Chain A
Amino acid sequence: MSNQSDLLATCISRPEQLCQLSLKEWDFLIRQARRVSLLPRIAYLAHETGCYQTLPASVVMHLSSAWRVADKQAKVVRFEISNIEKALKQLKSPVVLLKGAAYVAADLPPAKGRIFSDIDFMVPKSDLEMVERYMIRHGWMATHHDEYDQRYYRQWMHELPPMKHTGRGTVVDIHHAILPETARLHPDSEKLLDNIQRVTGYENIYTLSNIDIVLHSATHLFHDGELENGLRDLVDLDALLRHFGEEQKFWDELVERAAELELGRPLYYSLKYCSLVLNTPVPDVVTKAAEALGKPPAVISHLMDTSFKRALKPDHSTCDDGFTPLARWLLYIRSHYLRMPLYLLIPHLLRKALKKHKTEAPLAAIPEIEKP
C-alpha cells in the first residue's frame, strides 16, 4: 500500500484492497478507522467484497464487534424515530429527519455501518416551542441547564439545546434550520421544507429531497463542523453522491439548487474533496459549474487545500505530519468564524475557555469499567 496515511481512504474507495492487506496494514487500518468512527463501515465493505471469511481471526474479532455496535445503533435509531413520531403525532407540520437518522429511515447507502451520537430532525421554526413541549411530555429533557447555554442555543443557534430521554438516554437535536441564525450563509429553511419527501412506513416522518440531503451533508462538513469526524462525513457524502448520482436528473439540478440555497461554496468543496480523497465520480460539467459558483479566491483556496488535505485524514498518530495540528486549529477557528460574527464569537470562545478551566480541577474519577 502506497502511504499509510491514505490507507483508510484507499480501502474505502477501493474495498477490494481489503482482501490483500497484510496483518500489519490491518493493524493500522483498524486503528485509524476506529478513531474516525469508520470501523463498522470497513466491516460492512469487507463483507460486501466477500473476503470476510478469509480474514485473520483477530481482524474479524474487531470488525464484527464494531459491526454489532453499528447494527445495534441502527435498531435504536429506528425505534427512536417511531417514538418521535408518536410524541409528535398532534403536530400539523412535517418532522424532517436529518443526517444519520435520515439515512437509516430512508435506507440510504451511508447508513450501512454508521456510528451515531444523536438523532437530528427539523421542524418549522414557528412550531419549535410546541415540539419542545410534546417532547418533554414524552420523556425528553433539555441537557444544557446553564442560562448562558440556553440563550446561546435559543438566540443564536439553529437548534434547541440537545434533549436527552430520561429513561433511555438517547439524545435528539431539534433543528429549525441547517445553519445557525448568526452564520454567514443563510439557506432558507422554507425552501428546504418545500421539497421534502415522506419516508415509506411513516405517517409524518420526512427527509429532505435527495439533492438537499447532499447539500446539507456538504454544509455540515464544510461550513459548520470542526472536522473531528471529517473523513466519516466525507464518506457519507461519497456514498450519497454515488447513489443519487446514478440518476442524471440529480446532476442536472444539483448546482442550480446549491445556488438557490446559497450553498455554492460547501458544494464546491464537497465535490472537490470527494473526488480527490475517495475518487467519487463527478461529471466534468458539474465540477466546472460548481467551481464557477463556489470556488473561493486563489489565496483562500490554497490555504483551505493545505488544511483540508490534512484534516480529512484520520486524527491518528499514523496519519499526522508536522502541520496537522496547525491545520486542525485553523479549521477550528474557521468553523467558529463562519458560525457567528466576531463580536459574538470572541466573548463566546472566552467563556468556553474559562468554563473548561473551571472544571479541570484534579478529578480522580475512578476508571472503573464504564457500563454502556
Chain B
Amino acid sequence: MNDFSTQLGGRGLYIQTGPFCVHLQSSIATVADGITQLYSEYPSFKEKDFADFHIHLDTVAGIRRLIRPQVQFSFDGYIPFKPLPLDQAFPMFEWGLNWCVANNIHEYLIIHAAVIEKNGVAAILPAPPGSGKSTLCAALVNRGWRLFSDELAMFCLRTRMLVPLPRPVNLKNNSINLIKNYAPEAIFGREVSDTNKGTVAHMKAPTESILRAAEAALPSWIIMPRYQEGAKPVLESRPKAQTCMDLAQNSFNYSLLAEDGFLAISELIDKCDCYDFTYSQLDDAIKIFDDLELPQ
C-alpha cells in the first residue's frame, strides 16, 4: 500500500488533479500518509515530462528541528509562507497548492467558493469562512452531488464552463465529527489540532468526482449559505447586483483579469439564479438543493 512514501521521498510523485499535474516531493511521513489515504484514486505517475506545480515539503533545517520541528512549503524553490509545526505538513500541502493555483493560473476566473454539480449543472457556493460552506459541500457530495471543489470555483475563460478541481475537502472543528456521523463511509485523513483554523481534517473526494474530473459543467446557481443554529431552512432570492459585487470581492483574480474578469462575472450572474440560504440541518439542505429548479 505505502509505495508512495519511497516515491515521494525520492524523485517525487506526479499527481493529476483536475486540469493540473502536481509534482510533489517530501520525506515527511504524514505527507506520504495523507497522499496514500486521500489521493490513491487519482491518476499518478512516477515520471512525467511536464508538471504545472513542482512542490517540496521539507522539515526546516537547524537546531530548532530537535525541539520544535517545522515544515516548509516550497513552490519550486520559492518559499511563499513561514514554516508551520511539522504536524501540519499535510494540511500545508493542501493550502499551499490552493495558493499555487490562485496565484499562477489566470485562464480561469477563480472565486473563493465551493462548487458542486448534478445532471451537468453546477451550484457555486461563495461564502466567508465560518459560514459552513465546506460542511455543506461535504454533506452534498455524500448525497449524490459531484464535488468540483470546496475552495476554488474555476470558470474557464475559453470554454465558459466551470471546471472541476476535486481535491480533499477541508473540514474544521465540529464539522469533522458532524460529517463523520453523517457519512460514515467517507474516508478521512488524520486530524491535525492547533492549526490557525483549529483542528482540521481532510475528507477524501468521492470516487466518482475523481474519475469524472475532466467533465466540466454549466453554472446555474449562486447560493450564499449561512449556517445558523436552530434555523429553519430558508432559500431566498438574492439581488443579482449585490451578488455580482460579492463574487468580485471573493475572486482572486477578478481585478487582474480586467475586462475579461468583468465579462466572466457578468456572464455567471446572467446565467445563474442567485439565492441566500440559511440552514441548521444538513438533511433539510440536501432536500432544498435536490429541488432546485433550473434557471429560466
Contacts and interface: CB of A to CB of B under 8 A. Distances in A.
Contact of A68 (B21, B54, B70, B256): B256
Interface stretch (B96-104, B221-229, B262-270, B286-294): B96-104
Contacts of A137: none
A23 B50 contact: yes
A362 B68 contact: yes
Interface string A1-45: 000000000000000000000111011000100110000000000
B117 to A, nearest CB: 22
Interface string A54-66: 0010110110110
A5 to B, nearest CB: 14
A325 B99 CA distance: 28
Given A366-B196, A372-B252, A68 B49 contact: no
Interface in B193-223: 196-197
A321 interface: no
Contacts of A65: 104-107
Interface string B163-205: 0000000000000000000000000000000001100000000
B52 interface: yes
B227 to A, nearest CB: 20
B284 interface: no
Contact of B50 (A58, A64, A315, A366): A58
B255 A372 contact: yes
Contacts of B246: none
B199 to A, nearest CB: 14
A366 B255 contact: no
B105 A61 contact: yes
A365 interface: yes
A249 interface: no
Interface in A318-372: 362-372
B50 A24 contact: yes
A147 B80 CA distance: 28
Nearest to A22: B49
A186 interface: no
A68 B95 contact: no
Interface in A121-167: none
B73 A367 contact: yes
B129 to A, nearest CB: 9
B49 A27 contact: yes
B197 A366 contact: yes
Contact of B92 (A24, A367, A371): A367
A242 interface: no
B112 A369 contact: yes
Interface stretch (B30-38, B81-89, B134-142, B274-282): B81-89
B107 A64 contact: yes
Contacts of B197: 366
B121 interface: no
B77 interface: yes
B258 interface: yes
B107 A369 contact: no
Contact of A367 (B19, B78, B95, B258): B95
Contact of A364 (B54, B85, B103, B151): B85
A316 interface: yes
Interface in A64-81: 64-65, 68-69, 71-72, 75
Given A61-B107, A68-B257, A372-B256, A26 B77 contact: no
Contact of A58 (B52, B73, B85): B52
A53 interface: no
B235 interface: no
B110 to A, nearest CB: 9
A64 B21 CA distance: 17
A370 B255 CA distance: 14
A117 interface: no
B283 interface: no
Given A22-B49, A58-B50, A69 B256 contact: yes
Given A65-B104, A370-B80, A372-B253, 13 more contacts: A34-B104, A35-B76, A56-B50, A69-B256, A71-B258, A72-B255, A72-B256, A363-B82, A364-B196, A369-B95, A369-B151, A371-B252, A372-B255
24 contacts: A27-B50, A35-B78, A56-B50, A62-B104, A62-B105, A64-B106, A65-B107, A68-B106, A71-B258, A316-B77, A362-B64, A364-B84, A365-B81, A366-B95, A367-B73, A367-B80, A368-B95, A369-B98, A369-B103, A369-B112, A369-B252, A370-B80, A372-B253, A372-B255
Interface of A: 22-24, 26-27, 31, 34-35, 56, 58-59, 61-62, 64-65, 68-69, 71-72, 75, 315-317, 362-372
Interface of B: 19, 21, 49-52, 54, 64, 68, 70, 73, 76-78, 80-85, 92, 95-96, 98-99, 102-107, 112, 151, 196-197, 252-253, 255-258
